[in-house]
Structures are given as C-alpha cells and as structure tokens.
Structure 1
Amino acid sequence: MVLLSRSYAVGYPLTFNNPSKLKSRFRDAQPPFFLTCVYGDPVKAARQQVWDTITEFGHIKADNWIYLWDFNSYLAWHEKKGGNRKNFKDISQFQTMLDRCQLLDIGAHGPTYTWNNHRAGRDNIIIRLDRVLANQAWRNAYLEAIVTVQGSTGSDHLPLCLDSEGGRSSGMRPFRFDSMWFTHLDCQNAATKAWTIPMVSVATRKLKMKTENCKVVFREWNRDIFGNVHRKIESLLHELQRIQRDPSPDNQQRELEIHQLLEIEYNREELMW
C-alpha cells in the first residue's frame, strides 16, 4: 500500500495479523488521523478473531480512522469470480464487523479484483480481498480522498494507492539532481551544454544563472534521453493494469509477456543506478 498526501508519501509493508499492533497516527496530516493495516487470517476459522479485535477498539473510536490492506475476505458474491460459493458465513462475519464499527468501504478506481491465483482456464479465481475502510469522521475530513488499484508485476495481489487529496497538485515538483544520471554516457554532455551557454551578466550573477540553466537543461534531458526507460516501464505498467481488469485466457498470455518485458526494462533501469 502507498499513502499519498501533499506533505508525505508512505509505503507500508504488511507484517501483522493483529491490527492493534500495527497502528500509526499521522500527526502532520490536516486533520490528523489514525491508520491500521489489517491482514485477515488466511485460516477462515481464525479470521473472526481478527474481526473481534478490530471491533474491540474500533466501535468506540471517534477519531479519524482508516483500516486497509488484505482482509482475506470479501463482502458480496460479485467480488469473486471463479471457484465455489461456500463462504456465506465468512461474508456475513466480515459485514457484521463493518456494521458494528460503522466503517465505510470507500471504493477504488481500477481493476475490480485485487487477488488472482494465476491459474489457467476454469481453475482461475479472482477476488477483491484488498480494500480501504474508513469511519465516518475520516470520510468527512477527507472528502476528496481516492483509492486506485495499481498493476502488479510480481505478486498475486494488486497494490492499493490511497491519495488523501484526490490527486490535487500543489505545484511544479522541485528540481533535484539525481545521482543515477552520472551513470549515463551523455550526462557530461548535458552538463557542458548547460554550463557553457553564453551569458551577458555581471560575475556575481553568472553562477546563479548557470545553476538555473542546469535545471532547465537537465529537466529536458531527463525527459527526452534518460527518461526513456522510465516511460517504457510506465507504459507497460499501464497496459498491465488495463488487462488485469479483464483476466481472460488471452490476457493471461499477454500478462506473462509484459512481465518478461518489464524484467528487461527493470534490469536496464538497475544499470542506471
């Protein structure tokens, strides 16, 4: 999961199935809120214990609070495609926990299903196991928040991205010289071009003007030359996300091909580092 805001971007690994042990408070957020990452027990008989723990401290919380990640459960039959339909009790228990804690599923943009067993034909099962739940206080505080389901290259789960500000931009990204640019053979040429452009100015301003010119030249150079690998990776990830919306047999084959192409591009990108 990746959480985005104007002032921070945080990635969370999933390490506990006891939600009370994985709790963070974002004091810098406005307004502040609590976040709990939840891993629903993969053993159905033990999953109720996780719901009971959430209910224990969740049903009385008046603070802004969200719960997210892999609940290992789904809320309705339309959230599962393939396999049998014998989990009504599990659906009911999951829904009961949401009702008791008055949690809302804030939905997501992107593929409907977040988990895929990657088996072929009739053995293929896809389910929406990952989601973001919020209490009413959090939802009222972050009305523009959106969740997007991203493409996955090495997992049976699709990652979630929660943007608390709904994708609003606070302006142009500040320029930062990236040390991996040094690995590119053309980096020195770009630096020379930026530094040797003739300028008519007093000596005290030349250094500042050349520094500003480096920002312009390297932004263009990164976009047109160095950034080609990144754009190719981004394009492949977009295609991957698109076909993961409809995991048909034909798309499964194309998904394998994209994974192979991404591996090549990631290796090229690693050389740049």
Structure 2
Amino acid sequence: MLEGDYVIMGDFNTITAYHEKEGGRSKSASSIEGFNNFLNMDGTVDLGFEGCRFTWSNRQYGGNLVREWLNRCLATPNWCEAYPRSAVVHLNDQGSNHRPILLITEEEQKTIKRRFRFQEKWCKEEEVGRIVRERWKEAVQGSLMFQLFSKLKRCRHHLVEWQRSKGGNSLQQINYLKQRIDEEKGKGNQADKHQIIVLEEELAETYLKEERFWWEKTRVQWLNYGDQNTQFFFIQKRISEIDIIEFSS
C-alpha cells in the first residue's frame, strides 16, 4: 500500500466490472474481484474520463471486435481535493491498440490572437485562388500604394474568413477527423470498416498538411519536409501511398 497523497495512471490490464469489456471471452470473476480489492485497500478513487469508454481494442471489426477499459487514472481523496478541476481524457488510438490517457490538472490558458500569415499550402486550394483574383479585380480609389494596401487588406480579411468556414486549419481538421473515427469505432460491431479506412487515409493526408505548416515556420534548415518526424509517423499507413504536395509550382 502506498503512503501519502498521489495519483497513479496507466494500463492496469484488468477491469472492475463485466460491462467494462465488450466482445471475446468474459474476464474471470477472481481477476475482477482482485482488482476491486486492491482499489478498496489502497483507498484510491477513479477520476473517471472524457471520451470513448474503452481504452484498448484488438483493432478488429464486426463480430471479432474486442474492447476493454484497461487504462485508467486513480488518486487519493486528498489529491482530488488539491486538484478539484482535474480531468482525464481518453485520446485517439491512431496507430495503436491502446488509447493514451491525458491527465489535466489546471484550467486551459487563454490563447493570444495570432498575426495573419499566408500559408504556402493554400496555393493548392482553388478557393484561395478565386478569392485573390476577385479581390484584386475590385476597384479602389486612391494612390497606387493605397490601392495595393487596400487589396492586400481585403485578401487577408476574406482568407481569414475562408480559413474559419472551410476548415483551413489543419489541426482543427485533424481533431475533427479523429472525432469522426472515434464515433465510427464507437459503434462497435456495427462500425463501417470501409468508412474508417477512408477517414484514416484522409487523416494521414491532413497530417502531411500540418507537417508542411510547421516545416514552413521552422528555421532549422536541415529539417526536410517529408521526414515524418511528427505524431503521424505512428499511423499504420504507408506514407508512400499518399500524394505528397509538391514544393515547386
């Protein structure tokens, strides 16, 4: 038995009740009883979770699917009082049969409004080209310098609106696709295998866009676009099958 106030989290490789497993053979009663006895003896409480209930699966589909809630976060009552706003989030399981769990102990900080920067990846978007052409054709009265300033300002304004409405932010699109995949997998035996594959392929392509975004921002000259030195490296898909965006036009 541990002493003091603490939190412990990870893969406990067992469950506390039969409803925490779906598919496959049932867990033995002795295994469930033993884990519950450990929790009662240690005096810890489960912090619960946000997201999908199951943290492990055999990554099968249909009647062969097996899912369990194995990863969890436990804490002493005094620790819970010290961190009353704490929360546990079950993250996406892309590229693994386990969902990572994230423990949040503090409130999120407010984000600072960022300056507008044109992103090179937008050059491949037909909508961006249309926006620039239309704004550039608009008549502006004044000196040549004032006309240039006004047209650039209008382009910037409309591109920001386009980015918000069309999901131009790759990170937002990544989170959206992860949510779609989780929702589909959450259907259990009724999950559409083909739909999951399509969404995972789209997610891999979006990760490439996000990688390009950070490649543009970095000042490290030796970092080459396509190195895949990001989290999407662990997605179980051959990156060579994806049409990588060309640098030169």
TM-score higher than 0.5 here?
Answer: yes
Q: Cα deviations across residues 178-237 of structure 1 (Å, max 9, x unaligned)?
A: 999577669xx9xxx9x957xxxxxxxxxxxxxxxxxx9997797578943333222111
Q: 1:67 to 1:217 in 2, by over 3 A?
A: farther
> In the TM superposition, what is the alpha-carbon distance from 1:249 to its structure 2 partner?
3.6
- Partners of 1:231 and 1:150 lie apart in 2 by 15
- Partners of 2:100 and 2:117 lie apart in 1 by 28
Q: 1:170 to 1:120 in 2, by over 3 A?
A: closer
Q: In the alignment, is the contact (CA less than 8 A) between 1:75 and 1:95 conserved in 2?
A: yes
Q: In the alignment, is the contact (CA less than 8 A) between 2:51 and 2:90 conserved in 1?
A: yes
The amino acid across from 1:174 in the alignment is I
Q: Cα deviations across residues 124-148 of structure 1 (Å, max 9, x unaligned)?
A: 1100011111111111112222222
List runs of 5+ in structure 1 lacking aligned partners: 1-54, 198-215
Mean Cα deviation higher: 175-184 or 145-154 = 175-184
Matches within 5 A, 1:1-273: 55=1, 58=2, 60-61=3-4, 63=5, 65-165=6-106, 168-171=107-110, 173-175=111-113, 181=119, 223=164, 227-272=168-213, 273=215
Q: 1:131 to 1:252 in 2, by over 3 A?
A: farther
- Partners of 2:51 and 2:201 lie apart in 1 by 23
Count the aligned residue pairs.
191
Task: Tell me which residue corresponds to 1:36.
Answer: none
Q: What RMSD, in angstroms, separates the aligned Cα atoms of the two structures?
A: 3.5
- Partners of 1:85 and 1:225 lie apart in 2 by 46
- Partners of 1:75 and 1:132 lie apart in 2 by 13
- Partners of 1:263 and 1:79 lie apart in 2 by 30
List runs of 5+ in structure 2 lacking aligned partners: 133-145, 151-156, 216-249
Where do 4+ consecutive residues of structure 1 move more than 4 Å? 175-186, 216-226
The amino acid across from 2:97 in the alignment is D
Percent of aligned positions that are identical: 26
SS in 2 for 1:74: coil
Task: Tell me which residue corresponds to 2:246.
Answer: none
- Partners of 2:72 and 2:64 lie apart in 1 by 24
TM-score by length of 2: 0.63
